[in-house]
Amino acid sequence: MISARGVRIEVAGRPLLDGMNFDILPGEFVAVLGSNGVGKTTLLRAMNGRHGPSAGTLALDGRAIADLDGTTRARSMAFMTSDDAPIDNLTAREVVATGRYPFHRWWQWNATREDEAAIDGALQAVGMRELGERAFETLSSGERQRIWLALGLAQEAPYLLLDEPTSHLDVRFSHEILGLLREQARAGKAIVCAIHDINDAAAFADRMLLLGDRRIVAWDTPERVLTADNLHLAYGIPMETVRTSTGSIRVFA
């Protein structure tokens, strides 16, 4: 599991998050929520070893993430964000193929049958197999978002960390992607996903990590996290939680 004990995360010498304690288990979908700038992306980067905590410990299966080498981290955790780097002169399939790099030595790159199967399966899962030979820069924002997700799936890591994977998608594709992530959790992966839309998070997540005022406001099931008091603390505006006739939770500002 991914565990945090007394974690403090600073940016430019100032605390962004403090007193972080949680355990994320295999087989669950965790949504990370909070207002813009609260530290959702930075927390995901810290969990992936890209932004070390200034205090406390972040651990993966009992080992401090800061002590893991890059290859071990890459085989254990896939971190997906569309803000990492511009992609030029690569096809969509070639972008997804980079998810297989942790399984090869730096001087070796001859795709194996396992690589090809993983790439094909990832493209198929996000509905992009027919566009695999398109130049990445010619894809729409939504199509690029799905390619980033396919890259993470091709990496076949047991922990999948995603920063706003539905930010450029319409409602249908957003729900398709979140449904796919839900299936990955059912298959045993740990999914940790920063999500902007509270109602989407409520529909798909097993548990929620709600951030606000440099701390965890709530860490529990959607039913326990999405209370009017918690939401006001996190977002600073009044919100109302309603349970629909189908049993789902909806939040209204």
CA–CA separation, 184 vs 193, rounded Å?
12
pLDDT of res. 106: 66
Backbone φ and ψ for 11, nearest 5 degrees, come out as -130, 125
Per-residue confidence in pLDDT tens, the chain, 253 aa: 999 999 999 998 899 999 999 999 999 999 999 999 999 999 999 999 999 999 999 999 999 999 999 889 999 999 998 665 567 789 999 999 999 988 887 666 778 999 999 999 999 989 999 999 999 999 988 888 889 999 999 999 999 999 999 887 889 888 989 999 999 999 999 999 999 999 999 999 999 999 999 999 999 999 999 999 999 999 999 999 998 877 789 999 8
Q: What ranges make up the beta strands (E) of 196-245?
A: 207-212, 215-220, 240-243
Look at residue 248 in the predicted model and tell me its pLDDT. 83
Q: Specify the 3-state DSSP secondary structure of 2.
A: strand
Handedness of CA 113, 115, 119, 124 (dihedral sign): positive
Confidence (pLDDT) at 243: 86
Q: Which pLDDT value is given to residue 83?
A: 61
Which pLDDT value is given to residue 3?
Answer: 97
Sketch the domain layout of the chain as residue ranges: 2-252
CA distances from residue 3 to 23, 56, 58, 172, 221 in whole angstroms, order as listed: 4, 11, 6, 33, 17
Beta-carbon contacts of 228 under 8 Å, excluding residues fewer than 6 positions away, are 238, 239, 240, 241
pLDDT at position 82: 63
Q: Is 109 exposed, middle or buried, given 0-12, 13-18 or 19+ CB atoms closer than 10 A?
A: exposed
d(CA 239, CA 228): 6
End-to-end Cα separation, the chain, in angstroms: 34
pLDDT for position 84: 53
The CATH superfamily of 2-252 is P-loop containing nucleotide triphosphate hydrolases (3.40.50.300)
Q: What is the pTM of this model?
A: 0.91
Residue 74's closest CA among 52, 95, 101, 97? 101
Q: How far is it, in rounded angstroms, from Cα 176 to Cα 21?
A: 31
Estimate to the nearest angstrom the gap between the alpha carbon of 190 and the chain centroid.
10
Q: According to the model, what pLDDT value does residue 107 have?
A: 62
